[in-house]
């Protein structure tokens, strides 16, 4: 009896592993597909180009080369290491809005 119940546990453990990794793969693909787009260029109010998509990508490469991805993030997934830029920005906006409404 013990051998059979042990097999059942291994069977369920395998199912949990497969389901977990399938979920991780699916979520990873969704994150990749829904990442924010990089514009071809960003224009100023007068129509002049402020910066291009190539400059944005170069900035990302510099950020990653300096280890910036280890210092927090703009989308929250690195916030356990350092501050989360989006949360900080939202907080500052809320404080400014509250001050302007008083």
Q: Would you place residue 81 in the very low, low, confident or very high pLDDT band (cuts 50, 70, 90)?
A: low
What pLDDT does 60 receive?
Answer: 84
**Residues of the chain with pLDDT > 70: what percent?**
78
Q: Tell me the pTM.
A: 0.44
What are the tokens at 40? Answer: 């071809």
Residue 14: per-residue pLDDT = 96
Instruction: For residue 54, give the nearest of 32, 37, 31, 38 by alpha carbon.
Output: 38
Report the pLDDT averaged over residues 9-34: 93
Check whether 75 has a pLDDT greater than 70.
no
């Amino acid at each position: 009896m013990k051998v059979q119940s042990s097999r059942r546990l291994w069977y369920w453990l395998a199912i949990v592993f497969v389901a977990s990794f399938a979920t991780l793969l699916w979520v990873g693909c969704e994150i990749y597909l829904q990442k924010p787009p990089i514009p071809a260029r960003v224009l100023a109010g007068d129509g002049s180009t402020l910066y291009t998509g190539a400059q944005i990508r170069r900035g990302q490469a510099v950020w990653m080369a300096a280890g910036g991805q280890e210092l927090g993030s703009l989308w929250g997934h690195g916030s356990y290491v350092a501050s989360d830029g989006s949360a900080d920005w939202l907080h500052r906006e809320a404080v400014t809005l509250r001050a302007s409404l008083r």
